[in-house]
Amino acid sequence: MLTDSQRKTLNFIRVYIANNGYAPKLQEIAEGIGIRSRGVVHRYVQALVDAGYVENTLGKHRGLRLREKTGLAGQIPFLGRIAAGKPIEAIPEQDEISLPNFFTGEQQFAVRVVGDSMIEMGILDGDIVIIESRDTAKNGEVVVALIDNEEATLKQLEHTNEGLVRLIPANQKMEPMLYQPEQVRIQGVLVGSLRRY
Amino acid sequence: MLTDSQRKTLNFIRVYIANNGYAPKLQEIAEGIGIRSRGVVHRYVQALVDAGYVENTLGKHRGLRLREKTGLAGQIPFLGRIAAGKPIEAIPEQDEISLPNFFTGEQQFAVRVVGDSMIEMGILDGDIVIIESRDTAKNGEVVVALIDNEEATLKQLEHTNEGLVRLIPANQKMEPMLYQPEQVRIQGVLVGSLRRY
DNA sequence: AGAATAGAGAACATTAAGAGAACTTTCAAG
DNA sequence: CTTGAAAGTTCTCTTAATGTTCTCTATTCT
C-alpha cells in the first residue's frame, strides 16, 4: 500500500522514463514532485523497491528500473496525454486505468464489428464494441438496431421530422436508410469500443 | 442494518476506490458525503467495520479496504459478430469477454491521445491507447517514438532503404517525417485502444 | 420522555512528509 | 590513473496531516 507521496514518485518515474528512455536522478524526482530533499526522495524510492514496483542498482546514477508489478489483472499504468510534438504530459489525480471499471454500467453486452460501415467514427472491422441494452435512443446516438426482426446493424440513429427512422452509416460510400418506426427495434446503444492489434 | 449515513459512507468509499484504486481519507469522505467532522466519519466507518463491510488498518492513512469480492467484475456477455444486413451471429467458442484479461502482456502502459494524427487508423482524439514498452519495432507497427529526446509522438514506423526512419501519421492532412535513426528512440508499440462514449 | 441518529469540533497519538547534514560511491574531465 | 563534483545513501530532527477518541448539541421517531 503506497502513500500519496510514494504514488506521486512512482508516477513521476514512469512518465520520466517514457519521455526520456532512462531513469531520473533523485534530484530530478525531487523537483518533479515539488520537494527539495534528496534524502526524502530516496526514502520514497526505497519504499517503491520494497513494494516491488521498482528495482534499484545500488549506488549507480540513474539506476532505477521499472518492474512489472504482477498484482491485479487489468490494472494498467496511466501516464497521461500524448500529443504530437510534445513530451508525454502527466495528469495528476489519475495514475492507473482499471479495465474492469472502465466500462461500468448495467446491462451491457459486447459484439465484434464486421465491415467498415462505421469507419469514419473510428470503428474498424474487427473492433469490439460495448453496447448498453436499451430500447430507446436519442438522435445522434449509435445503436444496435434490429430491422424487420431479422437483420442487426450498427448505425447512427435519427428520428426524422416525418416520423420515420433513419439509420446512418459512418462511411461516405454507404447510404443512410429510411424505415418505418415499427420496422426498427433498438437493441442497445454504443457506449464503448476496444481493439487489440 | 446500516443507517442512511453509514450507507452513504459505504457507497462513497466504493466509488472512490473504484475510481482511484486506493481508499479515501476521512477528510475526503466527509467532503464526499457533505459533512465537516472527521470524527463523525470515523464513527460511520467504524460501524461499517463492525458490520463487516470494511476492514481498517489501524492508524494508517488510507487504511480502509472493502471486504467484497472485486475479482468477478469486468465480465461482459459476448454475443458474437454484427455485420450490416445480417442477424447477430453467435460465436460458439466464446460467450464472454474478460476485460481484466483483454490486454495481456508485459510492461504495458496507457496514454490518452490528443489530436487527429492517427484518425485514419481509427484512433481518435481522446482515445486511450495501450502501449507495450519496447525499444524496437518492425515496419508498419505503430510506435510511441521519442524524437531528439524531447518530443513524444504516436506514429506508424518505417525503416527506409536509405537507413532512415520515417514516422507516418494516419492523416492525409499531415506529412510523414524523416529522421536519422539516432534521432528517434522507440519507447513502445501500440497493442490496443479503448474508447468510451 | 427516551432512544436512535446525525453532526460539530476539541484533544491527543501516530503516521507521513519534508529539510538538511554527513557520509560513501560513481563518473567524467584532466 | 587521479581527482573532485555530483549522485546516491543514511541519519536525525521537525512539522503537517491524518486517524482516533471524546464530549456536547440538535433532530427525528416511537
Residues B172 and B138 in one domain: yes
ipTM over the 0.85 cut-off: yes
State the CATH number of the domain containing residue A82. Answer: 1.10.10.10
Distance, CA of B192 to CA of B194 (rounded, Å) = 7
Please tell me the predicted confidence (pLDDT) of residue B72: 56
Residues B93 and B122 in one domain: no
Please tell me the predicted confidence (pLDDT) of residue B106: 83
Residues B85 and B61 in one domain: no
Residues A41 and A118 in one domain: no
Query: Structural domain tally of chain A?
Result: 2
Contact between chains at B169 and A84 (C-beta distance less than 8 A): yes
Residues B112 and B180 in one domain: yes
Alpha helices in chain B (DSSP H): 4-20, 26-33, 38-50
Distance, CA of B197 to CA of B186 (rounded, Å) = 30
Q: Å from B178 to nearest chain A CA?
A: 14
Please tell me the predicted confidence (pLDDT) of residue B104: 87
* Residue ending a domain, choose from A99, A127, A145: A99
Q: Is B142 exposed, middle or buried (0-12, 13-18, 19+ CB in 10 A)?
A: buried
Distance, CA of A120 to CA of A170 (rounded, Å) = 5
- Please check the confidence at residue B90 and state whether its pLDDT lies above 90: no
Residues A138 and A63 in one domain: no
Integer distance in angstroms from CA A59 to C1' D28? 65
Residues A95 and A124 in one domain: no
pLDDT tier at A35 (50, 70, 90 boundaries)?
very high
Residues A70 and A44 in one domain: yes
Contact between chains at A19 and B84 (C-beta distance less than 8 A): no
Closest-CA residue to A88 (of B114, B179, B170, B133) = B114
**pLDDT 10s digits, B134-190:** 999 999 999 999 998 888 999 999 999 999 999 999 999 999 999 999 999 999 999
Identify all chain A residues contacting B109, using CB atoms and an 8 Å cutoff.
Answer: 14, 18, 76-79
B46 touches strand C (CB under 7 A): no
pLDDT tier at B85 (50, 70, 90 boundaries)?
confident
* Residue ending a domain, choose from A76, A99, A122: A99
Cα Rg of chain A, angstroms = 24
* Residue ending a domain, choose from A99, A129, A151: A99
Q: What is the 3-state secondary structure of A141-163?
A: CEEEEEECCCEEEEEEEEECCCC
pLDDT tier at A140 (50, 70, 90 boundaries)?
very high
What's phi and psi for B36, nearest 5 deg? -110, -25
> Do residues A122 and B127 lie in contact, with contact meaning Cβ atoms separated by under 8 Å?
yes
**pLDDT 10s digits, B3-56:** 999 999 999 999 999 899 999 999 999 999 999 999 999 999 999 999 999 999
Residues B128 and B190 in one domain: yes
Integer distance in angstroms from CA A57 to C1' C18? 25
Q: Which residue has the cell 473504484?
A: B18
State the CATH number of the domain containing residue A118. Answer: 2.10.109.10
Share of chain A above pLDDT 70, in %: 99
Closest-CA residue to B65 (of B51, B52, B54) = B54
- Please check the confidence at residue B96 and state whether its pLDDT lies above 80: yes
Residues A32 and A57 in one domain: yes
Integer distance in angstroms from CA B61 to C1' C18? 17
Q: Which amino acid is at B73?
A: A
Confirm or reject contact between B92 and chain A (CB < 8 A).
no
Average pLDDT over chain A, rounded to an integer: 94
Q: Which domain holds residue A127?
A: 108-194
Please tell me the predicted confidence (pLDDT) of residue A174: 94
Coil, strand or helix at B197: coil
Identify all chain A residues contacting B116, using CB atoms and an 8 Å cutoff.
Answer: none
Residues B62 and B75 in one domain: no
**pLDDT 10s digits, B174-197:** 999 999 999 999 999 999 999 999
- With CA of B63 and C1' of each nucleotide, the nearest comes out as D19
- Averaged pLDDT for residues A68-77: 81
Residues A20 and A87 in one domain: yes
Cα A48 versus chain centre, distance: 25
